[in-house]
Amino acid sequence: MASVTLTDVSRVFPDGTRALWRVDLGIADGELLVVTGPSGSGKSTVLRVVAGLDPVSSGSVHIDGQEVTNLPPRGRDVAMVLQDAGLYPHLTVAGNMGFGLKVHGVPRDEVGRRVSAEARVLGLQAQLRRLPRTLSAGHRRRAALGRATTRVPRVFLLDEPLVNLDAAERTRVRAELVQLQKGLGVTTVHVTHDQSEALAMGDRVAVLRDGQVQQVATPAALLDRPVNRFVAEFVGFPDMRFVEAAVTDEAGLSWLVVGSQRLRIPGGLPGPLRRHVGRRVLVGLRAHLLRDAGSRPDCPVDRRLRGTVTRVERMGHADIVGVRVEGSELSALYPPYAGPAGGAPVELAVDTAGAQIFDPVTEAAIWHGRGV
C-alpha cells in the first residue's frame, strides 16, 4: 500500500501536443481515485506516467514518498490492467491469474490458494481451466482483473477495465471491483471516460480536460460545487443545460432576465452574484429543477419560463423533456409518459435556488445553489 503523488507533471510530445500539462495529483494510501474526462484528455497518460511506461517531460512522480520519476516499471511495484485485457493466450485463466505470483517466486501451493480465492471473489471458478479465447468478454475482463489482483501490488492502475462489457455486467463488475479494492485496501487509480462510472466508484474523482486537471473532489462535491462549466457539463445525469441571463436588481427584487422573460430570485441576490448586477451570466440548470408548471400551481408566475418542446426521452421512471427557451435548449423532468409531444408550448416552474451560475467568458463558477 502506498500514496501516489504527481507534482507539476507535464508530458509534451515533439509535435507540441500536451498530453499532460502541469498536473498535480495526490492519491492517498488506500484511496480509489477515478480519473475521467473526454477522449484525448490525458487519462491513460496519467496511468502510464505512474506505471513508468511513459516518461515525463517535467515534474516528478512519488510512490509511498519515494521518487520513482526515472525508475523503470518493474521497480515501481504497480499492476496495470489495460483496455484490451492483455491475457496470455496460451495460458489458462488460472495460469494467467497466477502468472505474476509465479514470476515473483511464490510457492506453487500458495499460488493455487490465492488464485482460487481470487476466482471466488470474481466469480471465475468455472472458468479457471479455460483459455482466454474461449471466454466471454465479461469473463475475459474478470480474468484480467484477477491477474492484477492475485499479486497485491502497492498500486493498481486500471485503464477502462469495464469498457466493452454490457450495461448490466458493467454495473455488477464495478460494484465488485470497488468491494475488492476496499477489501484489499490497495491504492488504486481507475480511468474511465464514463462519468457515471466515475461518480459511482470513486472516493474522489479527477476531471481532466486537454491534459489539465480541472477539479479533484468527491462525487458529491463535483456535482454540487463544480469549479467551472466544463466540469458541470461533464458530470451528472441528466446533464446540466445552460441559458444566458442578465442579472438585475430593482427596488430590492432580484431577477435573472432571460430574453423577454424574467425569473425572480427569491430572497434577493446571493453575495457572489451581487458583483454581477447589470452583467450577463450563464445559468446552469439540471432537469430536476424544471417541472411542468401545471403540476406546481403554488409556483409564482415570476418563477416560470415558457418554451417549446423539442424532444422527449422516456426513461421509465421519468420523462426528460427538451424545451427551447429563448434560443437555449433546457431539460425538464416530467412524470413517466407525461412529457408533451415535440412542438408543444409548455410553461415550466423553475427552482432557481438549485441553479449553478457561471461566468459566460471565463466559464468559472460564480455561485452554486442548493446541492442535490
What does the binding site for ligand ADP look like in residue numbers (CB under 6 A)? 13, 15, 17, 19, 37, 39-45
Q: How far is the CB of 364 from ligand ADP (least distance, A)?
A: 23
The answer to whether 182 and 209 have CB atoms below 8 angstroms apart is no
42/100 with CB nearer ligand ADP:
42
Long-range contacts of 87-90 (CB under 8 A, 24+ apart): 87/132, 87/140, 87/143, 87/144, 87/147, 88/132, 89/131, 89/132, 89/133, 90/131
Q: How far is the CB of 113 from ligand ADP (least distance, A)?
A: 36
43/139 with CB nearer ligand ADP:
43
SS3 content of the chain, % helix, strand, coil (to 5): 30, 35, 35
Q: How far is the CB of 48 from ligand ADP (least distance, A)?
A: 7
Cα–Cα distance for residue pair 278/270, rounded to 1 Å: 15
214/261 with CB nearer ligand ADP:
214
Q: How far is the CB of 37 from ligand ADP (least distance, A)?
A: 6
Q: How far is the CB of 68 from ligand ADP (least distance, A)?
A: 19
CB atoms within 10 A of CB 15: 5
100/202 with CB nearer ligand ADP:
202
99/156 with CB nearer ligand ADP:
156
Please report where in the chains the cell 462549466 appears, as a residue.
229
Order of strands, edge to edge, in the sheet holding 204-209?
78-81, 155-159, 187-192, 32-36, 204-209, 212-217
Q: How far is the CB of 191 from ligand ADP (least distance, A)?
A: 7
61/366 with CB nearer ligand ADP:
61
Order of strands, edge to edge, in the sheet holding 58-63?
18-27, 4-12, 58-63, 66-67
Q: What is the DSSP letter of 239?
A: P
Q: How far is the CB of 36 from ligand ADP (least distance, A)?
A: 9
Q: How far is the CB of 248 from ligand ADP (least distance, A)?
A: 41
Axis-axis angle for helices 108-122, 137-150 (nearest 10):
140
List C-alpha distances in Å: 146 to 149, 195, 292, 328, 368.
5, 24, 49, 48, 42
Please report where in the chains the cell 431577477 appears, as a residue.
255
44/92 with CB nearer ligand ADP:
44
13/103 with CB nearer ligand ADP:
13
10/308 with CB nearer ligand ADP:
10
Q: How far is the CB of 198 from ligand ADP (least distance, A)?
A: 13
- What sign does the CA torsion over 53, 104, 174, 126 have? positive
∠ Cα 165 170 173 (to 5°): 115
Strands 187-192 and 32-36: parallel
Helix (H) or strand (E) segment spanning residue 212: strand 212-217
